[in-house]
Amino acid sequence: MVFYTCYNYVVLERIDKEVVIMLKNVKGLDINYIVEGEGEPVIVLHGWGANINTVLPIVNILKDRYKVYALDLPGFGESEEPKEPISSFEYAKIVKDFIVDEGIEKASFIGHSFGGKLSIIMGSKYPDMVNKIVLIDSAGLIPKRGIDYYVKVYSFKSLRFIYKNFFFWLKDDKRMERFYKKFGSTDYRDSSGVMRKILVIVVNENLKDLLKDIKAPTLIIWGDEDTDTPLYMAKTMEKEIKDSGLVVLEGAGHYSYLDDYYTFRAVINAFFNGR
């Protein structure tokens, strides 16, 4: 029995054989990935700040019937960082180039959070390459911004001004690094260099207009207590994607597939068994 740990979650899954880690160079970037099973291809994409390990429980659901790939997206896990800031669309292009290099003409996509965002782009921009899509607590929509958001932004900018102008005994880079570690978002604090610049780009992208272009059957799975990508985003996606259905996991958060893994597994099996 092997324990897969993801932040505060632990999921138990039995592995019959050792997972083999592989490396592929895609457009000048070394991409770390695994492939398990045989059959029609399924691509599993993790969220921001995560890696292959966090989606292994999903891989294990399907690997007895499908050929399942899981990638460390560029800049995460063991994959190489992009050499310069890129957008989500360029991330999706890297995924596309990866599957083409694998000789895959058409695949199903399962994406959590940022991986869901890339799955939306794949489904809308490259529909002929997409069989089915599963979006799990997916990113891709700009959050609703009320007065609390603007108060927070104004406070953040005011504090940044103070740090830039009053902590004069620190060098500029050390001064601002200290500021962002104290006041920046968790993702921003945990990022650095080019990945921090990429984060700024991707969080400001809105994919709502792309949803109507998705032709593949799409399953949307969401935790009703998700505070990172709230449930109203799932309902928007269900409304805009023509052939879609929403399953809400009660009591689950942003990692809904781990919070209620056994219900999640039953839903995924039903969706893929129907082919």
- Residue ranges of the chain with per-residue pLDDT less than 70: 1-19, 145-192, 274-275
Chain position carrying tokens 């994409």: 45
Q: Strand runs (DSSP E) across the chain, as ranges? A: 2-6, 9-13, 21-26, 29-36, 41-45, 67-71, 107-112, 130-136, 218-223, 244-249
pLDDT given for residue 116 in this prediction: 98
pLDDT given for residue 193 in this prediction: 81
pLDDT given for residue 137 in this prediction: 98
- Take residue 212 and report the two structure tokens written for it: 């109507």
Domains in the chain, please, with CATH? 2-142+206-273 (3.40.50.1820), 147-198 (no CATH)
pLDDT given for residue 271 in this prediction: 97
pLDDT (tens digit, 9 = 90+) per residue, 33-81?
A: 999 999 999 999 999 999 999 999 999 999 999 999 999 999 999 999 9
pTM for this predicted structure: 0.81
Which helix (H) or strand (E) segment holds residue 95: the answer is helix 88-101
Cα(238)–Cα(187) distance, rounded to whole angstroms? 27
